């Protein structure tokens, strides 16, 4: 049987999503729990990787079991085995040809910037920016990201194709927090963190909107990559909008 799970995790407690020899990836914990239930090795496949320190409200993964377990029972069993920093939110049966990564239609990431009085208890869960940010200007900059662009200046590593579509970018204020939301289909390595870093620099008046626009059309600007701790994978959707 093939199953799809959606789950949350505290990224500060893991060395990223990917399975590692050190066994401190989120995927390691899921595989270990699934293998106990299956009484044979299981390797789940995620909707995408998140780096060390990145959190998730609703990451997704699929896997095959040799045993037929009702989804709600499987969800409860997994939650009893994966530890305190992962929680299975949903478990459903899927078709044998379903793939958690290749069938994705949309993903949404959010980034949390904290502008209040420094709080060490928030250190692992938001990016602290002490200087005032020009949120209105950041909102203008965010709109430049929407649509299809060549994001090569915002991606780490070498790829054959840097083109991606971002459907919507929203910036909102919630008390001492500035929340940046990105919804698209494909996000490459460090892409969201670099997009956020550039917006923070726009908000600090270190980059102009024209410089940001130029970077989306082959121009070059220096980008400070935003820290992983403020990034959350909020949604993975397999339905076309």
Rg (Cα) of the chain, in Å, rounded?
A: 19
Contacts of 224 (CB under 8 A, 6+ apart): 197, 200, 201
d(CA 62, CA 101): 9
d(CA 141, CA 208): 9
Nearest residue to 182 (alpha-carbon basis) of 169, 172, 195: 169
Joined together, the tokens standing for residue 10 give: 């505290």
d(CA 234, CA 108): 5
Encode the chain (241 residues) as per-residue pLDDT tens digits: 999 999 999 999 999 998 877 788 999 999 999 999 999 999 999 999 999 999 999 999 999 999 999 999 999 999 999 999 999 999 999 999 999 999 999 999 999 999 999 999 999 999 999 999 999 999 999 999 999 998 888 888 878 888 899 999 999 999 999 999 999 998 998 999 999 999 999 999 999 999 999 888 777 788 899 999 999 999 999 987 6
Q: Please, where are the H alpha helices in the chain?
A: 26-38, 71-79, 135-145, 191-203, 209-215
Residue pair 184/164 in contact (Cβ under 8 Å)? The answer is yes
d(CA 215, CA 169): 17
Active site residue 124: no
Joined together, the tokens standing for residue 206 give: 């270190």
d(CA 42, CA 19): 12
Joined together, the tokens standing for residue 230 give: 């403020």
d(CA 102, CA 67): 25
Of the candidates 10, 24, 31, 51, the residue annotated as catalytic is 51
Angle at 155 between CA 52 and CA 59, to 5 degrees: 45
Domains and CATH numbers, the chain: 2-94 (3.30.70.580), 106-237 (3.30.70.660)
Query: How many C-beta atoms surround the C-beta of residue 223 within 10 A?
Result: 20
């Amino acid at each position: 049987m093939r199953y799809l799970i959606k789950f949350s995790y505290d990224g500060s407690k893991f060395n990223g999503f990917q399975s590692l020899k050190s066994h401190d990836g989120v995927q390691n914990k899921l595989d270990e729990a699934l293998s106990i239930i299956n009484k044979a090795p299981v390797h789940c496949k995620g909707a995408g990787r998140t780096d060390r320190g990145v959190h998730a409200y609703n990451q997704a993964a699929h896997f095959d079991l040799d045993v037929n377990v009702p989804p709600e029972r499987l969800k409860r069993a997994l939650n009893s085995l994966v530890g305190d920093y992962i929680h299975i939110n949903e478990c459903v049966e899927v078709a044998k040809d379903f793939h958690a990564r290749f069938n994705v239609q949309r993903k949404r990431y959010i980034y949390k910037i904290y502008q209040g009085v420094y709080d060490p208890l928030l250190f692992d869960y938001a990016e602290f920016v002490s200087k005032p940010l020009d949120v209105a200007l950041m909102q203008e900059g965010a709109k430049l990201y929407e649509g299809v662009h060549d994001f090569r200046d915002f991606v780490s590593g070498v790829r054959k194709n840097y083109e991606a579509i971002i459907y919507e970018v929203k910036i909102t204020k919630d008390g001492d927090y500035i929340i940046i939301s990105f919804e698209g289909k494909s996000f490459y390595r460090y892409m969201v963190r670099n997009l956020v870093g550039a917006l923070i620099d726009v908000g600090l008046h270190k980059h102009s909107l024209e410089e940001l626009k130029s970077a989306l059309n082959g121009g070059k600007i220096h980008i400070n990559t935003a820290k992983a701790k403020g990034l959350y994978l909020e949604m993975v959707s397999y339905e076309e909008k």
